Chains A and B, each alone.
Chain A
Amino acid sequence: MALATIMIIDDEEELRENLRDLLEFKGYDVVMFATAEDALSQIESINIDLCLLDIQLPGMDGIEALQRIKQIRPTLPTVIVSASSVRGILDQAEEYGADRIILKPYSQQEMLQIVEELTGARSKE
């Protein structure tokens, strides 16, 4: 039985794969999407516990996706992943209900800690 199900929305395949490898290794289930549109089309049909959302996406950007996700699942914990530390964008993310913001380049340990905190799960050692 998985600790929790994590949704990763990131257009960078390497980042998605790295996170999936880590999270699956630590006992989580992972669903991955390269675009916000794909993720939104399935968000209601999958039981997810946490969403890791990149801010810079092709098509719908992370901020808009965050708004939509929060409309559909207001209590779903969402982590915004950003390569930009421009205050305006990060403020917007906070305003629309991002539970955490993590800046690239993050370490896997940092990300794991955030996932554990927001899902309340204790990863496998």
Chain B
Amino acid sequence: MVEHEDGKNVKKKVYFLLILAVGLILFSTIEISHTALGPSLLILFSILVLRVFYSLFYTKQPTRFRFILVIGVGLGFLNFYVSCLPLVRLFCALTVLECVRVILMAVLNYPKTIKQLESLTERLEKKVESRTAELNETNTKLHVANEELRELDKMKSAFVSQASHDLRTPLTAIKGSLDNLILGVAGELNEKQLRIMRRATNSVDRLTNLVNDILDLSRIESGRMVLEKKELSLRQSIEHVIHEVKPAADLKRITLTASGTTNALTVTADPGKIERVVSELLNNAIKYTLEGGRIEVYTGRKQGMIYLSVKDSGIGMSSEECAKIWDRFYRTPASQNAAKGSGLGLSIAKELIEMHGGKITVESQPGQGSLFTITLPTSP
């Protein structure tokens, strides 16, 4: 059996044996070996010497280590042998003989050992080669799979983009036809006909929003969503959005107010995207606020950041719902029952705000309304 040890261990053993040899010389000089302790210590030394001899001569070690070892231990034992009792001398001689036998065996078996070593090295090399080849093959497979996944992802994005694009044309045609009827192109409609047409128009609008949301999400995912940043007055953006959503708030007699230090607040951001996020928050607030409720928009500056909050007196959410509302397609139980949406709006809002280096958070409790807060970096 051939053992493998690294050079560091062998060096340690050689130093140990040299110390052992010096110890034996000193030991014999002070003649402790004549006492009862002598033989026991000698047996212990002999076992240690033999153990190291075996490991040294049956492993591939530099010759100088073996040489130093043989000389050191030989001298120690010789000195010890001369100064010891006959019985101890006999034991000593047997140990030395065994050492000699080990050396002889090692020398005689040297070619065989070398051959064994070479064959082992060869086998090991082959194994390493085969494992490396296996590893390379796995790597190649992984690379190919990765490329395929990337390609699939690209295809998916292209498909979503194309499908959304293709959906827009028939949507425009449907919307156009409905609008024409509502505008009286084919003659004045009565109240009932108008109601029916408006229901159809609302559905087309929902479908349009869904298509737009999916397209935006696909752009964000594929990194094709580009921000067109410019110096932006937050006040103007808020006013613009409030103007747009006010009719919906009025329908539910919801009081919609904006306050805070909006005048001085400018951010470097994409106006369209910021307005989209604010619009999402306000539309959500309107959806989940009961008739006669209240929605307040606050803006201000805090710790070098600009914040915009939308607080409503709506139905609120549990903490579990708050944690999930940013997930794609997640819809709160209340939204499934009452309001209609794609379940993508808040997810997109979060992505858009994060693309601006900002954050969006929510605090809410059931029955206590919700508070959404956007934090954006100030203009440099």
Which chain A residues have a beta carbon within 8 Å of chain B's beta carbons? 12, 14-15, 18-19, 21-22, 25, 83-85, 87, 104-109
B residues whose Cβ falls under 8 Å from a Cβ of A: 165-166, 168-173, 175-177, 179-180, 183-186, 204, 208, 215, 226, 228
> CB distance A105 to B183 under 8 Å?
no
Given contacts A21-B180, A83-B168, A87-B228, A107 and B175 within 8 Å (CB-CB): yes
Query: Can you list 10 A-B pairs with a CB-CB distance of less than 8 A?
Result: A12-B173, A15-B172, A25-B180, A25-B183, A85-B215, A87-B226, A87-B228, A105-B171, A106-B172, A108-B179
Contact A104 B168 (CB under 8 A): yes
A21 and B185 contact, CB distance less than 8 A = yes
Q: A25, A87, A104: which contacts B171 (Cβ < 8 A)? A: A104
Q: B187: shortest Cβ distance to chain A, in Å?
A: 10
Which residue, B171, B176, B226, has most C-beta atoms of chain A within 10 A? B176
Distance in angstroms between the alpha carbons of A114 and B186 in the assembled complex: 22
Please provide the 6 A-B residue pairs with the shortest distance between their CB atoms, ordered closest to farther: A18-B176, A108-B179, A14-B173, A105-B172, A83-B168, A105-B171
> In the bound complex, do residue B169 and residue A18 qualify as a contact, i.e. CB atoms below 8 Å apart?
no
Known: A15-B169, A18-B173. 18 other contacts (CB 8 A): A12-B169, A12-B173, A14-B173, A15-B172, A15-B176, A18-B177, A18-B179, A19-B176, A21-B180, A21-B185, A21-B186, A22-B185, A25-B184, A104-B169, A104-B171, A107-B175, A107-B179, A108-B175
Given known contacts A15-B173, A21-B185, A22-B185, is B180 in contact with A108 (CB within 8 Å)? yes
Rounded to whole angstroms, the CA-CA distance of A109 and B181 in the bound complex is 12
Docked pose: A106 CA to B179 CA in angstroms:
10
A80 → chain B closest CB, angstroms: 14
Give the secondary structure class of A's interface. helix
Residue in A closest to B175 when the chains form the complex, CB atoms: A105
Contacts of A106 in B (CB 8 A): 172, 175
Contact: A104 with B179, CB < 8 Å? no
Q: Which residue of A lies closest to B182 (CB)?
A: A108
Q: Return the chain B residue nearest A14 by Cβ.
A: B173
Q: With A83-B168, A104-B168 in contact, do A109 and B176 touch (Cβ < 8 Å)?
A: no
Least distance between A34 CB and chain B CB atoms (Å): 14
Set of chain A residues within 8 Å of B183, measured between Cβ atoms = 22, 25, 108-109
Q: In the assembly, what is the distance between CA of A104 and CA of B262, in Å?
A: 33
B168, B176, B226: the one within 8 Å of A108 (CB): B176
Closest to A108 in B: B179
CA distance in complex: A12, B204 (Å): 19
B28: shortest Cβ distance to chain A, in Å? 95
A83 contacts which chain B residues (CB < 8 A)?
Answer: 165-166, 168-169, 172
**Measured CA separation A14–B180 after assembly (Å):** 12
Give, as a whole number of angstroms, the nearest-CB distance from A64 to chain B. Answer: 19
**In the complex, what residues of A have CB within 8 A of residue B184's CB?**
25
Q: Tell me the complex Cα distance, A21–B184, Å.
A: 10
Docked pose: A15 CA to B175 CA in angstroms: 10
CA distance A15 to B173 in the complex (A): 5
Bound CA–CA A85/B184 (angstroms): 30
CB <8 Å contact, A109 and B173: no
B176 — which chain A residues lie within 8 A by C-beta? 14-15, 18-19, 22, 108
Docked complex Cα distance between A104 and B215 (Å): 13
Instruction: Decide yes or no: A105 and B208 within 8 Å by CB, A12-B173, A87-B228 being known contacts.
Output: yes
- Which chain B positions have C-beta within 8 A of A107? 175, 179
Chain B residues within 8 Å of A19, by CB: 176
A19–B177 alpha-carbon span in the complex (Å): 9
In whole angstroms, what is the CA distance A106 to B208 when docked?
10
B27 to chain A, nearest CB (A): 91
In the complex, what's the smallest C-beta–C-beta distance from B138 to chain A, in angstroms? 40
Task: Specify which chain B residues have a CB less than 8 angstroms from the CB of A109 in the assembled complex.
Answer: 179, 183
How many angstroms between the C-alpha atoms of A109 and B180 in the bound complex?
9
C-alpha spacing A19/B180, complex, angstroms: 9
B172 neighbours in A (Cβ, 8 Å): 15, 83, 104-106
What's the minimum C-beta distance from B244 to chain A, rounded to whole angstroms?
Answer: 13
